[in-house]
Structure 1
Amino acid sequence: MTNKERHEGRRSPNRLRLALYLLGVLGLALMLLGPGLLSGLRIENGSLLLRPECTVETSDGEVGLDRDEARLATTAVALLARGLEAPDTSNIDEAVLQRLANGPPRDAGPSLSCRGSAASDLQEQQLTATGLTPRAEQLRQAMTEVFGDQSLGGFAPGGIDQGHGADSTHYDGRAMDIFFRPVTEENRRKGWMLSHWLIAHAEDLHIQYVIFDDRFWSVYSSQGQWQDYDAPEPGNEILRHLDHVHVDVLGGGTA
């Protein structure tokens, strides 16, 4: 046996121990982080890659965005729709902006998806004079800055105690409805423009659920995909949320 062979023979056990150690660390990480870690991963060309925080379905295929790009894009198209000056979006794919502004061809369904991330250290809040909690009021103000005055409902000074399901977040002042009536393709497009903006800003505005047009988005979904919404009365446009966007914020505390 040559000196080189003896040297490589001594190195092999060290390499094996290192490989086993790294596998053990990876296994421990997967056990601690669970499926939430894997949900953000995808396979491409045999490699494991981190999935983008947000994705937009365009005519050219799926385009990935980070959270800041999603916030920027959804805000820009909303301001431009009002004829207002919009922030610079030159670094964002034009196909993304076009899809967010126009909606998908022949169907104004969801185009943008963003992974959810719910804060776990929020304090429970009480109603303010508007009938909303401070977090919900912050959301209302943020929407108004971008979308202008809207037709709102689902809350009132002093709170409400009827008109919704028994466990509705409307009764806690954590929810509001934004109306787009009557049900038309143009109003569906506007409703989706708002819905996309809401989920893009869900992290900083502590949004919990968004429901619109037979679909719902949840902050608790680590993959952030829209799901089918099963209305209690399939023939009721209001209960199917065809004429309004429902949005609510996290309750904090033990809620």
Structure 2
Amino acid sequence: MRMRTGLALIGVGLLGAVAITIGVDALRDLSPFAPADECTATVDDSTVVLDPEQAENAALITAIAVRRGLPARAATIALATAYQESKLANLEYGDADSLGLFQQRPSQGWGTEEQVLDPVFATNAFYDALAEVDDYRSMEVTVAAQTVQRSAFPDAYADHEADARVLASALTGNSPAAFTCRFDGDVEEAGDRLRESGLVRRADAVRREALAVFGDLSLGGFEPGGVAGGHMEGSTHYEGRAVDIFVRPINQANNVRGWAIAHYLVAQADRLGVQTVIFDAKIWQARRSDDGWRDYDPPARSGDRAILEHRDHVHVDVFD
């Protein structure tokens, strides 16, 4: 049995005739021809494809490295390890008493069964152990991973190093607009009642998760009284369905952090009901997710162009 990420605080002839009758494009919308939900990370000429569960876990593993101020190298090592140990799935089973993303063993001091099945706890436990490894930044990935894991197959981590490097580069934000997901954009209605935060339930969940994963963030949302920070008419902010995550001042370090946050939100979009993510003059939309990240050209109006293009904040809004 596989568990999705959960934060502790997820006949040939007949078909041919049908295709002629209704058209190939329409047929693609029908199972089994509908494209599967998937996420991709592309850096340079290398592309890694993940299913939604793998993407959620990979993004969480990387986001925790970002929050802890660890280098992308640490995320690469963690991702290669989780690839080898669990294929980036939070497994409830394993060899002997091994469990979770990293197949950590309660009997070996990694924590209780409940703890190692919590992706946040398990990931932090891995990074705690990695931080104790002298010179892990200069070690071969497989050597660093083996020093932490003490696996019976010490060379196996190397099989996943290339994919882990691509994912780490994208998900840490060092490669902008390099991670995207394709979803059908079909979500259940969640209601429009505002919480104390001034946000609907889905948007408030996004706000709370961003804080839980990335730490102290400057978050802007709906402001009671019908004023949403001067947003354009028709903005989802006025409905309490949008959150702005600020990464000021505008500089290279914050641009990288902003892309880490934006990519994380796309990775979790299916689970959280995210409709749109905008950052650094790029936009991702669930209902146009086949297009990946597109150039964002906001309607012309007076004001700071950098703000209009969302260069100082990540905008995320959710479905109704």
TM-score by length of 1: 0.75
Letter of the 2:14 counterpart:
Y
* 5+ residue gaps, structure 1: 1-17, 42-49
- Residue 166 of structure 2 corresponds to which residue in structure 1? 96
- Residue 228 of structure 1 corresponds to which residue in structure 2? 295
Query: Is the 2:207–2:219 Cα contact (8 Å) retained in structure 1?
Result: no
String of CA shifts for 1:186-230, please: whole Å, max 9, x gaps: 111100101111111111101111000010000111415111100
Letter of the 1:186 counterpart:
A
Matched, 1:168 2:238: no
| Distance apart, 1:246 and its partner CA | 0.4
**Higher mean C-alpha deviation, range 75-84 or range 27-36:** 27-36
Query: Is the 1:159–1:173 Cα contact (8 Å) retained in structure 2?
Result: no
RMSD of aligned alpha carbons: 3.1
- Residue 22 of structure 1 corresponds to which residue in structure 2? 15
Letter of the 2:169 counterpart:
R
- Residue 313 of structure 2 corresponds to which residue in structure 1? 244
Query: Is the 1:131–1:159 Cα contact (8 Å) retained in structure 2?
Result: no
| Distance apart, 1:82 and its partner CA | 2.1
- Residue 245 of structure 2 corresponds to which residue in structure 1? 178
CA distance in 1, matches of 2:56, 2:225: 33
- Residue 77 of structure 1 corresponds to which residue in structure 2? 62
TM-score by length of 2: 0.61
**Equivalence map 1:1-255=2 (5 Å):** 20-27=13-20, 33=26, 36=29, 53-83=38-68, 89-90=82-83, 91=87, 93-104=163-174, 108-157=175-224, 160=227, 163-233=230-300, 236-251=305-320
CA distance in 1, matches of 2:279, 2:190: 28
* 5+ residue gaps, structure 2: 1-10, 89-162
Letter of the 1:218 counterpart:
Q
Instruction: Summarize the Cα distance change of 1:27–1:124 in structure 2 as closer, same or farther, 3 Å threshold.
Output: farther
| Distance apart, 1:231 and its partner CA | 2.5
Instruction: Summarize the Cα distance change of 1:250–1:213 in structure 2 as closer, same or farther, 3 Å threshold.
Output: same
Instruction: Summarize the Cα distance change of 1:32–1:204 in structure 2 as closer, same or farther, 3 Å threshold.
Output: same
Letter of the 1:79 counterpart:
I
| Distance apart, 1:37 and its partner CA | 6.2
Instruction: Summarize the Cα distance change of 1:78–1:61 in structure 2 as closer, same or farther, 3 Å threshold.
Output: same
- Residue 94 of structure 2 corresponds to which residue in structure 1? none
SS of residue paired to 2:58 = helix
String of CA shifts for 1:123-179, please: whole Å, max 9, x gaps: 431212210011111111122221112101132356535611110000110001000
Which one has a larger percent helix, Structure 1 or Structure 2? 2
SS of residue paired to 2:290 = coil
Letter of the 1:69 counterpart:
Q
CA distance in 2, matches of 1:167, 1:53: 31
SS of residue paired to 1:140 = helix
| Distance apart, 1:103 and its partner CA | 3.8
Instruction: Summarize the Cα distance change of 1:170–1:240 in structure 2 as closer, same or farther, 3 Å threshold.
Output: same
| Distance apart, 1:59 and its partner CA | 3.8
Letter of the 2:317 counterpart:
D
| Distance apart, 1:111 and its partner CA | 0.7
Task: Report % sequence identity.
Answer: 38
| Distance apart, 1:120 and its partner CA | 4.6
SS of residue paired to 1:64 = strand
Work out the number of aligned pairs and report it. Answer: 222
Instruction: Summarize the Cα distance change of 1:137–1:103 in structure 2 as closer, same or farther, 3 Å threshold.
Output: closer
CA distance in 2, matches of 1:174, 1:125: 8
SS of residue paired to 2:275 = strand
CA distance in 2, matches of 1:210, 1:59: 23
CA distance in 2, matches of 1:80, 1:112: 17
| Distance apart, 1:19 and its partner CA | 5.3
CA distance in 1, matches of 2:235, 2:241: 9
CA distance in 2, matches of 1:121, 1:29: 28
